[in-house]
């Protein structure tokens, strides 16, 4: 192991598992988060997010003294930035967290350090990180006085996007192939060598912009393919065809592989990252933009379907229906509610005056809804609507026309 001390900025779903894994491999890890309670929980050897195996890794890492959390960065050989990259109103990428993390590490940098941006980022963000560092720490850069361009950096700056699947993060951090793109060929090489120390998958070398675009491309590919399935589901509803049966049949073609439709697309990757391309690509990003719109429209369509069913019940029974919203998470078998269409649907139905029973087997409570046990809910509900295909729901013997995630069909 050439480099020993790592400073990880942002201890969420990506930064914390990465920190714990590196600590388990013998690195000294200084983890940084701006939220004091996150720092405190980790220093007690506990975790603030739900992810299988992570608790064991963090406990061992903290007990061995290899992982310490702090509110401030410290000197290190390698700095890894894993802070959020959401979007602002109008789907404009927000890289404020990246910029503020970059500024926060600047005073601690020394010649020869590696700075890695792991956050999913719009094309050009790694260059911006380097530019920001050159302003904060001019002593580490040679700048051309006439063009103000960086001629030489005493740091190695690179992007290495993360592509782990929540629920399998500890395994995928090691097994997945990784893409590393530096702002210079040397930065690419030295950063790739670091990843090869703990990644069993292949570490593929490119430049920073291609690495940034690769991550955005992966998620846009998924989004576009789900949009196709979602559009099919709305067409099938119009034509009186069971979309799940249709997809099963079509997928018997040796070169067809249609994904499953759902209540929309959520999570803070697939529902967000394509907008980074659309924002920068403008008119050239037609298909990617339309896919985002189709997936968002599917969520509105689901809301209308449920409202119509509730209205029909009320007309027929002379009282309001109790509507069970089965699932709030953005996908099956996780507790992550970020950008969740199911949560959005439940919220909208409640706001529009429907009598909602909110079910989410993966969380105990929620600030907006009373979380009701799913078996109890089924006894009380007049209308059952499946929004997320959680494993608990698959065993249920229930009939409903409002299965938007195929839990009764797949």
Ligand X SMILES: NC(=O)c1ccc[n+]([C@@H]2O[C@H](COP(=O)([O-])OP(=O)(O)OC[C@H]3O[C@@H](n4cnc5c(N)ncnc54)[C@H](O)[C@@H]3O)[C@@H](O)[C@H]2O)c1
Shortest distance in whole angstroms from residue 199 CB to ligand X: 15
Shortest distance in whole angstroms from residue 398 CB to ligand X: 31
Q: Is the dihedral of CA 176, 124, 295, 288 positive or negative?
A: negative
Query: Is the Cβ of residue 164 or residue 170 nearer to ligand X in the bound state?
Result: 164
Length of the chain: 410
Burial of residue 283 (number of CB atoms within 10 Å: 0-12, 13-18, 19+): exposed
Q: Which two tokens stand for residue 6?
A: 């790592």
Active site residue 236: no
Query: Is the Cβ of residue 117 or residue 140 nearer to ligand X in the bound state?
Result: 117
Shortest distance in whole angstroms from residue 370 CB to ligand X: 26
Q: Write down the residue that tokens 């229906």 correspond to.
A: 321
Shortest distance in whole angstroms from residue 79 CB to ligand X: 11
Query: Is the Cβ of residue 117 or residue 229 nearer to ligand X in the bound state?
Result: 117
Burial of residue 290 (number of CB atoms within 10 Å: 0-12, 13-18, 19+): middle
Element (H, E) at 142: strand 141-143
Residue 68's SS3 state is strand
Q: Which two tokens stand for residue 165?
A: 């699947």
Query: Is the Cβ of residue 271 or residue 372 nearer to ligand X in the bound state?
Result: 271
Shortest distance in whole angstroms from residue 276 CB to ligand X: 10
Q: Which residues sit at the interface with ligand X, rule CB under 6 A?
A: 9-15, 32-35, 38, 82-85, 97, 100-101, 104, 119-120, 162-164, 166, 268-269
Give the number of C-alpha atoms closer than 13 A to the C-alpha of residue 259, restricted to the C-beta side.
15
Shortest distance in whole angstroms from residue 180 CB to ligand X: 15
Q: Is the dihedral of CA 7, 4, 170, 56 positive or negative?
A: negative
Shortest distance in whole angstroms from residue 266 CB to ligand X: 12
Q: Assign residue 309 a region: left if phi > 0, alpha if psi is -120 to 50, beta otherwise? A: alpha
Burial of residue 118 (number of CB atoms within 10 Å: 0-12, 13-18, 19+): buried
Residue 335's SS3 state is coil
Closest of 85, 84, 118 to residue 8, by C-alpha: 118
- The catalytically annotated residue of 66, 68, 215, 331 is 215
- The catalytically annotated residue of 7, 269, 325, 405 is 269
Q: By beta-carbon distance, which residue lies closest to ligand X?
A: 12
308-339 per-residue burial string, b: 16 or more CB within 10 A, e: under 16 = ebbeebeeeeeeebbbbbbbbbbbbebbbbbb
Q: Which two tokens stand for residue 172?
A: 């995928």
Active site residue 160: no
Q: Which two tokens stand for residue 110?
A: 């020394």
Beta-bridge partner residues of 206:
181
Distance CA 175, CA 305 (A): 42
Shortest distance in whole angstroms from residue 102 CB to ligand X: 9
- Give the catalytic positions in this structure: 215, 269
């Amino acid at each position: 192991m050439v480099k020993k001390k790592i400073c990880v900025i942002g201890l969420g779903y990506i930064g914390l598992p990465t920190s714990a894994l590196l600590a388990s491999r013998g690195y000294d890890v200084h983890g940084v988060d701006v939220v004091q309670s996150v720092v405190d929980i980790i220093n007690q050897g506990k975790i603030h997010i739900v992810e299988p195996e992570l608790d064991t890794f963090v406990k061992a890492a903290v007990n061995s003294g290899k992982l310490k959390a702090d509110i401030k960065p410290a000197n290190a050989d390698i700095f890894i930035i894993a802070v959020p990259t959401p979007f602002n109103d109008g789907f404009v990428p927000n890289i404020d967290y990246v910029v503020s993390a970059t500024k926060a590490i600047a005073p601690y940098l020394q010649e020869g350090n590696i700075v890695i941006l792991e956050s999913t980022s719009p094309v050009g963000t790694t260059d911006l990180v380097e530019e920001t560092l050159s302003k904060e720490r001019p002593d580490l850069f040679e700048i051309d006085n006439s063009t103000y361009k960086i001629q030489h950096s005493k740091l190695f700056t690179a992007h290495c996007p993360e592509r782990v699947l929540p629920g399998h993060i500890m395994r995928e951090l090691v097994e997945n192939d990784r893409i590393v793109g530096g702002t210079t060929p040397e930065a690419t090489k030295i950063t790739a060598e670091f990843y090869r120390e703990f990644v069993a998958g292949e570490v593929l070398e490119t430049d920073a912009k291609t690495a940034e675009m690769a991550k955005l491309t992966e998620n846009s590919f998924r989004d576009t393919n789900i949009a196709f399935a979602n559009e099919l589901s709305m067409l099938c509803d119009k034509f009186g065809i069971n979309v799940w049966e249709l997809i099963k049949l079509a997928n018997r073609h040796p070169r067809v592989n249609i994904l499953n439709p759902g209540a929309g697309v959520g999570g803070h990757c697939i529902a967000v990252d394509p907008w980074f391309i659309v924002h920068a690509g403008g008119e050239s990003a037609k298909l990617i933009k339309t896919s985002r719109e189709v997936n968002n429209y599917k969520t509105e369509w689901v809301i209308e379907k449920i409202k119509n069913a509730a209205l029909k019940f009320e007309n027929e029974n002379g009282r309001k229906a109790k509507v069970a919203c089965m699932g709030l998470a953005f996908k099956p078998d996780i507790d992550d509610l970020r950008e969740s269409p199911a949560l959005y649907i439940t919220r909208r139905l409640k706001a529009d005056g429907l009598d909602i029973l909110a079910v989410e087997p993966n969380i105990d409570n929620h600030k907006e809804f009373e979380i009701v046990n799913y078996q109890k809910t089924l006894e009380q509900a007049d209308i059952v609507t499946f929004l997320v295909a959680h494993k608990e729901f698959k065993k249920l013997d229930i009939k409903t026309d409002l299965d938007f995630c195929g839990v009764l069909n797949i």
